[in-house]
Amino acid sequence: MDFIFIEALRVKSRVGIYPRERVAEQTLELNLTFGVPDAAAEHDDIADTIDYAQVIARIREELAVQQFNLIETLGEFIVKLLFDEFGAPWVKLAIAKIGVMKDVRRVGVFIERGRNGVSPPAHVPTAGLPG
pLDDT band at residue 126 using 50, 70 and 90 as cut-offs: low
Return the pLDDT at 21.
81
CATH topology of domain 2-105: GTP Cyclohydrolase I, domain 2 (3.30.1130)
Domain boundaries along the sequence of the chain:
2-105
The DSSP element (H or E) to which 53 belongs, if any, is helix 52-65
Give the mean model confidence (pLDDT) for residues 55-61: 98
- Judge contact between 11 and 59, C-beta under 8 A: yes
pLDDT above 60 (res 56) = yes
Identity of the amino acid at 120: P
pTM for the structure as a whole: 0.86
Report the candidate in 55, 51, 54, 69 with the shortest Cα–Cα distance to residue 13: 69
pLDDT tens column, 63-94: 999 999 999 999 999 999 999 999 999 999 99
**More confident site: 39 or 12:** 12
